[in-house]
Amino acid sequence: MIETALSILVGIFFAVAVYLLLSKHTIRIMLGVVVLGNAANLSIFTAGRLTREVPPVIPPDLYVPEIATANPLPQALVLTAIVISFSLFAFLLVLAWRAYQDLDTDNTEEMRIAEPKADPLPPLSY
Amino acid sequence: MESASNPYGVDISQAMIVERVALADWLLVFPVALPLLAAAILVMLRSRPKLHAPIALAVIGVVLVSNVVLLSRVLDEGPFAMTMGRWLPPFGITFVADTLGVLLATTAALVALVCALFGSTSIDVTGKRYGFYPFLLLLMTGVGGSFLTGDIFNLYVWFEVFLISSFGLLILGSERAQLDGAFKYAILNLVATTLFLIATGLLYGVFGTLNMADIALKADGLREEAPLTMLATLYLVAFGMKAAAFPLHFWLPASYHTPRLVVGALFGALLTKVGIYALLRTLFLLFPEEGGALSGVIAIVAILTMIFGVIGALAQTDIRRIMGYIVISGIGIMMAGLALGDRMGLAGTVLYAVHSMLVMAALYLLVALMRKAGGTYSLSELGGLYRSHPLLAAMALLLVLSAAGLPPGSGLWPKVMLVKSALDGEGGWLAFAILLSGLMTTLALGRVFALAFWRPRVDGAVVPATPLDRSGMFALVLIMVPILWIGLYPEPVLAMADAAAASLLDPASYSLLVLPAGGGS
């Protein structure tokens, strides 16, 4: 039940992320990157199955828990992914800010310094 | 020393490795641990940039030697695996030394050594202070880890490690063009790795394991009910984007010509090839049937990538940008082997990956030296370098022939294998496209040679025979040695590529290597 709701939420997140990533303005693209990262994390979390209110305590005479508890591995994966995407996003923010300052535009169509529009053709004869 | 029982009377041998790891197995962590450690030390020595080059060169040298030792051991005794933290696989993270991974890791270490040598004079003190060598070593950590790990999530982490260090290298210098190129590179690569992460999360949801050997074992039982084709497609898109396959390649020509050329050499040699390696692992080891079902799509992508790549190269004036498009065209040729999917085709892909690492690094270094000799990157202005720098011209000719797949360079043999495999199967179009792209590469790079070296300068000036810096020339000569060696005596590398292809087509033996007991929970 809760898995279904979360799956729909993940779908909405992906839709919003794709919409924002397709934008021309760097700030919207950055927001799209954040939403995309969260969509990925939420989908890992959901794919790892959800269990509520079962403490992962093993009785002293057993080796494994008596009933199914939450799987810690998806949470570890999400944590790793959060740390990585957070640091990458911090870098991206600085990069986008520097690009905005130096290139004087936040419109990706006008960001043509590396690939100038009026690039001459190579010599066609020897 | 380790006993199977502990004070609580629990038998830990069911969950943990109780015997000691053989001393020789520890060599497997060297290609990852050493550069990581050295990078940390170099960051601490930030204020003493003069120490950076010697330390980095020594460490990369040791990494290269340990890779060569690993390779000879794998060839003599067969592949082996090592699991971290004493947990039994699939719970611990496994590193696997097999022919495919170690062959590519060795080539990568050689390229890094040459680039570190080239960078010692071509990167100025400011560049060193801003961390050229730490980033280079971290890039090596990520690339080496990707080639050696046997865990799919660990592969994702290594991808991020080399992605982050590539950002640092890309903006070394903070020029306007670099910021522009880096922004596109960063966003599109981040989307690709996020797709990789999503696919891995869904894969965990389906399989309940991240160990590649374990996944390969369980895939057969799950094929009926689980959406494995969707997972394979997600991996194809994610790694295709990392590898710069058409139509997801636009980040590469936007950025690869902007950083320092030695950084371009590193990127052009290593990063896209890691994408190809990951495609080989996922589509053949993990999902062989689903990968086979996608081979039609991969064939079309391969043909379009090699043709559009080389058309892009033909349209450029700036020699740096020509090289970017030549990288893309080579990716198409490697994808052709993925589409063919037989032993000879895969061996061709592996051999082409080795060839492409060496030749692309050499071509970017050549561009840097041409710039020093001729003073410009523009094909309409360059000229007369044959008269002023004959040694450079000789190496340029050999590299042009090699990149185009003509003797005596290393590009001939993988293309022969791929074309033969395509003609033996039903890949007539692939064979035609490979040959056509080879012809067009000859045109694109032959024109660089004709215009920049043979033709006298347009303005009639005589190019001064300025001596090029010695370590730069030495680095280029050093990387020419394996290129010509593979071209003239391909048998040893050919046998390694063939062994790598054979192991890719036999996932069961890979699983047995990591999980001798036949699988965990």
SS3 of B361-401? HHHHHHHHHHHHHHCCCECCCCCCHHHHCHHHHHHHHHHHH
Phi, psi of B167 (to 5 degrees): -60, -45
**pLDDT tens track for B78-119:** 898 888 888 888 888 899 999 999 999 999 999 999 999 999
User: For residue B247, is the peptide bond before it cis, meaning its omega torsion is within 30 degrees of 0?
Assistant: yes
- A123 located within any domain: no
If you count residue pairs, one on A and one on B, with CB atoms under 8 Å apart, how many are there? 119
- Supply B311's token pair: 């058309």
Question: Which residues between 8 and 27 in chain B have a beta carbon less than 8 angstroms from any beta carbon of chain A?
Answer: 10
* Torsion angle (degrees, nearest 10) of CA A7, A11, A14, A15: -170
A27 touches chain B (CB under 8 A): no
Residue of chain A nearest B197, judged by CA positions: A40
State percent of chain B over pLDDT 90: 68
Q: How far apart are CA B261 and CA B367, in angstroms?
A: 8
Secondary structure (3-state) at B505: coil
Does B19 score more than 80 pLDDT? no
Residue B144's Cα: distance from chain center in Å?
A: 10
Q: Give every CB contact of residue B351 below 8 A, 6+ residues apart in sequence.
A: B413, B414, B417, B486, B490, B493, B494, B497
Strand partners, B83: B94
Structure token pair of residue B107: 């080539």
At B281 the pLDDT is 93
> At B370, is the pLDDT very low, low, confident or very high (cuts 50, 70, 90)?
very high
B314: chain A residues, CB-CB within 8 Å: 122
Token pair for B239: 């790694």
Burial of B33 (0-12, 13-18, 19+ CB in 10 A): middle
Q: How far apart are CA B26 and CA B69, in angstroms?
A: 12
Residue B480 in this model has a pLDDT that exceeds 90: yes
Mean pLDDT of all residues belonging to chain B = 90
Residue A39's Cβ-side half-sphere holds a number of Cα atoms within 13 Å equal to 24
Locate B383 and state its tokens.
């000229």
Chain A residues within an 8 Å CB radius of B153: 77, 80
d(CA B61, CA B46): 21
pLDDT band at A124 (very low <50, low <70, confident <90, very high): confident
- Does B511 have pLDDT greater than 70? yes
Mean pLDDT of B491-497: 93
Cα-only R_g, chain A: 23
Per the document, the length of chain A is 126
Q: How many CB atoms lie within 10 A of CB B300?
A: 15
Structure tokens belonging to residue B7: 């004070």
pLDDT for residue B264: 94
B204 contact residues in A (CB cutoff 8 A) = 44, 47-48, 73-74, 77
Instruction: Please report where in the chains the tokens 């990458």 appear, as a residue.
Output: A88
Interchain pair B183, A26: CB under 8 A: yes
Longest dimension (CA), chain B: 89
Task: State how far the Cα of A101 lies from the Cα of A99, in Å rounded to an integer.
Answer: 5
Q: How confident is the model at residue B73 (pLDDT cuts 50, 70, 90)?
A: very high
- Sign, Cα dihedral of B341, B347, B353, B355: negative
CB contact under 8 A, A44 and B201: yes
Per DSSP, the three-state class of B174 is coil
Interchain CB distance below 8 Å, A91 and B380:
no
Interface test with B, best of A95, A110, A125, A126 (most B CBs within 10 A): A95
Q: Position B11: which residue type?
A: D
- The whole-angstrom separation of Cα A10 and Cα B309 is 36
Cβ neighbours, 10 Å, residue B23: 7
Q: Please tell me whether residue B1 adopts helix, strand or coil conformation.
A: coil
Give the DSSP letter string of A43-105: HHHHHT----S------TT-SS-SS----HHHHHHHHHHHHHHHHHHHHHHHHHHHHHHHHS-
CA B90/CA B514 separation, integer angstroms: 8
What is the phi/psi pair of residue A53, to 5°?
55, 35
pLDDT at B521 over 80: no
How far is the C-alpha of B409 from the C-alpha of B397, rounded, in Å? 10
Q: How many residues does chain B have?
A: 521
Kindly determine whether residue A40 and residue B181, on different chains, have CB atoms separated by under 8 Å: no
Alpha helices in B208-342 (DSSP H): 212-222, 228-242, 251-255, 261-280, 288-293, 295-314, 319-340
Q: Is the residue at A60 inside a domain?
A: no
Mean of the pLDDT values across residues A94-107? 89
Angle B177-B179-B183 (CA atoms, 0-180°, nearest 5)? 120
Q: Give every CB contact of residue B118 below 8 A, 6+ residues apart in sequence.
A: B262, B265, B365, B368, B471, B472, B475, B476
Tell me, what CATH number does A32's domain have? 1.10.287
Confidence class for position B135, pLDDT limits 50, 70, 90: very high
| B115, containing H or E segment | helix B99-122
B190/A88 CB distance under 8 A: yes
pLDDT in tens, B161-199: 999 999 999 998 888 889 999 999 999 999 999 999 999
Q: For chain A, how many structural domains are there in total?
A: 1
Helix (H, G, I), strand (E, B) or coil at B520: coil
The yes-or-no verdict on residue B10 having pLDDT over 60 is: yes
The pTM (predicted TM-score) of the whole model is 0.94
Assess if residue A27 is contained within a domain: yes
Contact A48, A73 (CB under 8 A): yes
Tokens at A55, concatenated: 């403490």
Q: What is the pLDDT of residues A23-79, one digit of tens each?
A: 999 999 999 999 999 999 999 988 888 877 777 788 888 878 888 888 888 889 999
Residue-level pLDDT at B84: 83
B254-300: per-residue pLDDT in tens?
Answer: 999 999 999 999 999 999 999 999 999 999 999 988 888 999 999 99
Residue A88 belongs to some domain of the structure? yes
Range of the domain at A97: 2-52+69-109
Domain definitions of chain B by residue range = 22-514
Report pLDDT for A109: 84
Beta-carbon separation of A84 and B157 below 8 A = yes
Alpha helices in B389-462 (DSSP H): 390-404, 412-424, 428-449
Q: Name which of B153, B184, B314 is nearest A77 (Cβ-Cβ).
A: B153
Whether residue B308 contacts residue B246, with contact meaning beta carbons closer than 8 Å, is answered with yes
Tokens representing A123?
A: 């010599």
Band (pLDDT 50/70/90 cuts) for residue B344 is very high
Distance CA B161, CA B321 (A): 26
CA angle B166, B171, B177 (to 5 degrees): 125
Encoding tokens for residue B231? Answer: 């997972």
Q: Is residue A61 part of a domain?
A: no
Residue B302 has pLDDT above 90, yes or no: yes
Distance of alpha carbon B52 from its chain centroid, rounded?
24
Q: Does A95 touch chain B (CB under 8 A)?
A: yes
What percent of chain B has a predicted confidence (pLDDT) above 70?
97
Burial class (CB in 10 A: 0-12, 13-18, 19+), B436: middle
Task: Give the position of tokens 């950590």.
Answer: B141
- Say which DSSP state B97 is in: E
CB atoms within 10 A of CB B75: 16
